[in-house]
């Protein structure tokens, strides 16, 4: 169980295999709910939503050959719509890439790593309305750790992780952090 | 970054960060809905002691696209023409709650005075002061050069190795000063080309080369040539007698069809505007496919959005622990 790469005081709650299985299940759920890949657009939210959206798109294409990552996968930067810009030093702006055909009347699946306060998703919904008017917006997250501050919920969840707000949930992905894992640390120290 | 007063104050990292931010913001400007909510509730004052419609509407557009409130304060017909001092104007703006002041002033150093005096807490952006600096013009020129000449992935890149000639009235040009500073910081090699009468004293200490002969510089192979505006009134003896006649100036220093053809095929032509067609630039050159002069205007809005974003979006230092 204990991984030599896990920092002291941190506990691994999902390993690489767990993450992989969760993404495969989410891909199937999305296709089942959408009744195929028609009209689907998957948008990752930087930073770690991008590799997750990429992996999800690969699985969608594997299950449903009609899904084309070139026209149905993109990224949505939310920096300019955040409600906490004034509380932190200025943040760099990320890239937004929306498929050329746009998102009007499509079903958009937003992908992020951790759902916590819900404020990131609030900002994402605002950013999305600047880009177009989707038929429906759905939310897929790897981890839902609770403690919502806004009336927002996820449609597809990799793992529900009850946490204390003093705890820290860290998602690590091969593309950004060198390995796949979800760690939890802090709490009743 | 607290103020933007001079292109010479920017480090390479600062400058590349502004250009990268501008690139992401420019991408949002192709959308049907161009307005972003980022600076909602912030107030930007355009304080213009000199007329400059182009620069003012560029800043105004940039601030409005970021949802800031914009107040245009033109000196003409205002309290300033009744003799109000810069200090009292600044105190008035402070009392009105300005978060940023974009200042254009005929006196070199006025923006620095405004930023360092303690009269107001707003971020100060220099939109051109005397013959000193016009940093956002240099940033939009650098952004335009990077977009055309550094590829295929310009994000994070500087202008290392590019050869740029700046041609014309360097003596009176804050655009030339700002560009020499910024392009040098970004690694480009700059050559100033002008008649000896239109070069300032001490130009040999600037981080650039200087030539009196445009054709010789063109023959060295340039990546870009930037033409500066020449004012016709400068040729009369009353205006200083800097050059004998418009025709002589345009023969020796104007960008005409022959000189345009001497540029390498990838090279671009820039001009800060407004142009004197037939004087420093011929219509053929201004309207050619090498000319990026109209694009400079659009890039100006993106660059000014980036500057306002970086100055105003984050928390003030005392609020951020």
Active-site option among B31, B53, B82, B317: B82
* Chain A residues closer than 8 Å to B153 by CB: none
The token pair at A161 is 């992780």
Beta-ladder partners of A169: A184
- Residue spans of the domains in chain A: they are 13-82+92-186
Same domain flag for B155 and B236: yes
- Alpha-carbon distance B96 to B73, whole Å? 12
- Alpha-carbon distance B281 to B293, whole Å? 11
Same domain flag for B128 and B157: no
- Best residue in B2, B309, B311 for a mutation probing chain A (most A CBs within 10 Å): B309
Q: Which residues contact A166 (CB under 8 A, 6 or more apart)?
A: A186, A187, A188
The answer to the question of residue B11 being in a domain is yes
Same domain flag for B155 and B291: yes
Per-residue 3-state assignment (H helix, E strand, C coil) for chain B: CCCECCHHHCCHHHHHHHHHHHHHHHHHCCCCCCCCCCCCCCEEEEEECCCCHHHHHHHHHHHHHCCCEEEEEECCCCHHHHCCCHHHHHHHHHHCCCCEEEEEECCCCHHHHHHHCCCCCCEEEEEEECCCECHHHHHHHHHHHHHHHCCCCCCCCCCCCCEEEEECCCCCCHHHHHHHHHHHHCCCEEEEECCHHHCCCCHHHCCCEEECCHHHHHHCCCCEEEECCCCHHHHCCCCCCCCCCHHHHHHHHCECHHHHHCCCCCCEEECCCCCCECCCECHHHHCCCCECHHHHHHHHHHHHHHHHHHHHCCCCCCCCC
Q: Does A113 touch chain B (CB under 8 A)?
A: no
- Catalytic, B55? Answer yes
Q: Does residue B86 contact residue B92 with C-beta atoms inside 8 Å?
A: no
Q: Does residue B313 contact residue A90 with C-beta atoms inside 8 Å?
A: yes
8-state DSSP, A8 = T
The answer to the question of residue B99 being in a domain is yes
- Put simply, the answer to whether B314 touches A91 (Cβ < 8 Å) is yes
* Chain A residues closer than 8 Å to B320 by CB: 87-89
Nearest Cα neighbor of A115 from A64, A74, A88, A150 is A150
Same domain flag for B303 and B291: no
Same domain flag for B82 and B200: no
The answer to the question of residue B320 being in a domain is no
Q: Which strand ranges, in their side-by-side order, compose the sheet holding B69-74? A: B69-74, B43-48, B100-105, B123-129
Residues of B with CB under 8 A from a CB of A: 17, 20-21, 24-25, 27-28, 31, 33, 35-38, 309-310, 313-315, 319-320
The token pair at B28 is 């949002």
Report the SS3 class of residue A42: strand
- Alpha-carbon distance A17 to B200, whole Å? 69
- Catalytic, B134? Answer yes
- Put simply, the answer to whether A90 touches B27 (Cβ < 8 Å) is no
Q: Does residue A50 contact residue A94 with C-beta atoms inside 8 Å?
A: no
A123 min Cα distance to partner chain B (Å): 10
The answer to the question of residue B56 being in a domain is yes
The answer to the question of residue B228 being in a domain is yes
* Residue B54 Cα to chain centre, angstroms: 11
The answer to the question of residue B148 being in a domain is yes
A111 min Cα distance to partner chain B (Å): 21
The token pair at A36 is 């195929």
Same domain flag for B67 and B149: no
Identify the band that residue A188 occupies on the pLDDT scale cut at 50, 70 and 90: low
Q: Does residue A95 contact residue A101 with C-beta atoms inside 8 Å?
A: no
- Put simply, the answer to whether A96 touches B17 (Cβ < 8 Å) is no
Same domain flag for B82 and B166: no
How many residues are there in chain B?
A: 321
Full domain range(s) for residue B230? 135-296
Per-residue pLDDT averaged across A4-8, rounded? Answer: 72
Same domain flag for B224 and B171: yes
3-state helix, strand and coil shares in percent for chain A, rounded to the nearest 5: 30, 25, 40
- Best residue in B32, B37, B41 for a mutation probing chain A (most A CBs within 10 Å): B37
**What element of type H or E holds A80?**
none
Option in B37, B315, B319 nearest A81 (CB): B37
The token pair at A131 is 């880009």
What is the phi-psi region of residue B83: left when phi exceeds 0, alpha when psi lies from -120 to 50, beta otherwise?
left
B106 min Cα distance to partner chain A (Å): 32
**What CATH number belongs to A13-82+92-186?**
3.40.50.2020
Q: Which residues contact A129 (CB under 8 A, 6 or more apart)?
A: none
- Best residue in A81, A93, A102 for a mutation probing chain B (most B CBs within 10 Å): A93
Q: What is the dihedral of CA B303, B308, B310, B316, to 10 degrees?
A: 170
- Best residue in B313, B317, B321 for a mutation probing chain A (most A CBs within 10 Å): B313
Place of tokens 């590829």: B151
8-state DSSP, A45 = P
In angstroms, the Cα distances linking B300 to B2, B138, B141, B228, B295 are 20, 10, 8, 17, 9
Active-site option among B3, B42, B56, B104: B104
- Catalytic, B177? Answer no
- Catalytic, B271? Answer no
Same domain flag for B187 and B241: yes
- Whole-number pLDDT of residue B74: 85
The answer to the question of residue B2 being in a domain is no
Q: Does A46 touch chain B (CB under 8 A)?
A: no
- Catalytic, B259? Answer no
**What element of type H or E holds A165?**
none
Same domain flag for B182 and B230: yes
- Put simply, the answer to whether B309 touches A87 (Cβ < 8 Å) is no
Same domain flag for B276 and B194: yes
The answer to the question of residue B321 being in a domain is no
- Whole-number pLDDT of residue B245: 86
A72-125 per-position pLDDT tens digit? 999 999 999 999 998 888 899 999 999 999 999 999 999 999 999 999 999 999
In CATH, what number is assigned to the domain containing residue B303? 3.40.50.1370
Same domain flag for B306 and B259: no
What is the phi-psi region of residue B278: left when phi exceeds 0, alpha when psi lies from -120 to 50, beta otherwise?
left
- Put simply, the answer to whether A130 touches B36 (Cβ < 8 Å) is yes
Per-residue pLDDT averaged across A130-134, rounded? Answer: 94
Count of beta carbons in the 10 Å neighbourhood of residue B46: 23
Q: Which residues contact B150 (CB under 8 A, 6 or more apart)?
A: B157, B158, B159, B162
Q: Based on the structure, what is the number of domains in chain B?
A: 2
* Chain B residues closer than 8 Å to A77 by CB: 24
Phi/psi of residue A170, each to 5°? -125, 120
- Put simply, the answer to whether A85 touches B17 (Cβ < 8 Å) is no
B20 min Cα distance to partner chain A (Å): 8
The token pair at A115 is 């759902």
Count of beta carbons in the 10 Å neighbourhood of residue A141: 29
Spans of chain B below 50 pLDDT: 318-321
Q: Does residue B136 contact residue B307 with C-beta atoms inside 8 Å?
A: yes
Active-site option among B134, B172, B177, B290: B134
Beta-ladder partners of B227: B167
Q: Which residues contact B31 (CB under 8 A, 6 or more apart)?
A: A130, A131
* Residue B304 Cα to chain centre, angstroms: 10
């Amino acid at each position: 169980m204990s991984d030599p790469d896990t920092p002291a005081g941190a506990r691994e709650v999902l390993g690489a295999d767990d993450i992989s299985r969760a993404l495969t299940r989410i891909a199937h759920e999305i296709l089942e709910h959408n009744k195929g890949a028609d009209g689907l657009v998957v948008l990752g939210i930087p930073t770690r939503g991008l590799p997750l959206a990429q992996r999800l798109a690969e699985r969608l294409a594997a299950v449903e050959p009609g899904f084309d990552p070139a026209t149905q996968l993109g990224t949505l930067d939310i920096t300019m719509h955040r409600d906490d810009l004034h509380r932190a030093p200025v943040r760099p702006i990320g890239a937004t890439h929306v498929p050329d055909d746009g998102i009007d009347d499509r079903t958009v699946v937003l992908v992020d790593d951790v759902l916590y306060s819900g404020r990131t998703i609030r900002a994402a919904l605002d950013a999305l309305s600047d880009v177009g008017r989707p038929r429906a917006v759905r939310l897929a997250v790897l981890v839902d750790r609770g403690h919502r501050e806004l009336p927002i919920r996820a449609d597809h969840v990799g793992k529900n992780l009850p946490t204390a707000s003093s705890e820290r949930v860290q998602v690590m992905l091969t593309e950004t952090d060198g390995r796949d894992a979800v760690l939890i640390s802090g709490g009743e120290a | 970054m607290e103020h933007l007063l001079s292109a010479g104050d920017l480090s390479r990292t600062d400058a590349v960060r502004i250009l990268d931010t501008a690139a992401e913001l420019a991408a949002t400007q192709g959308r049907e809905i161009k307005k972003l909510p980022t600076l909602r509730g912030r107030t930007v004052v355009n304080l213009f002691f000199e007329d400059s419609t182009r620069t003012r509407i560029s800043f105004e557009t940039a601030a409005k696209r970021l949802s800031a409130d914009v107040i245009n304060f033109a000196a003409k017909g205002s309290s300033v023409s009744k003799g109000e001092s810069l200090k009292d104007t600044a105190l008035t703006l402070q009392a009105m709650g300005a978060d940023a002041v974009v200042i254009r002033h005929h006196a070199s150093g006025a923006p620095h005075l405004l930023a360092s005096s303690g009269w107001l807490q707003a971020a100060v952006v220099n939109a051109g002061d005397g013959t000193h600096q016009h940093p956002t013009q240099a940033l939009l020129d650098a952004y335009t050069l990077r977009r055309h000449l550094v590829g295929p992935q310009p994000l994070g890149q500087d202008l290392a190795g590019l050869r740029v000639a700046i041609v014309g009235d360097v003596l009176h040009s804050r655009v030339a000063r700002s560009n020499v500073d910024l392009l040098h910081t970004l690694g480009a090699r700059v050559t100033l080309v002008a008649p000896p009468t239109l070069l300032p004293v001490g130009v040999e200490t600037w981080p650039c080369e200087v030539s009196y002969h445009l054709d010789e510089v063109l023959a060295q192979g340039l990546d870009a040539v930037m033409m500066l505006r020449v004012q016709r009134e400068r040729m009369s003896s009353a205006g200083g007698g800097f050059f004998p006649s418009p025709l002589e100036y345009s023969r020796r220093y104007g960008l005409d069809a022959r000189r345009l053809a001497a540029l390498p095929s990838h090279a671009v032509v820039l001009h800060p505007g407004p142009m004197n067609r037939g004087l420093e630039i011929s219509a053929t050159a201004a309207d050619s496919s090498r000319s990026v002069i109209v694009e400079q205007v659009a890039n100006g809005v993106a660059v000014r959005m980036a500057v306002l974003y970086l100055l105003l979006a984050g928390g003030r230092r005392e609020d951020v622990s």
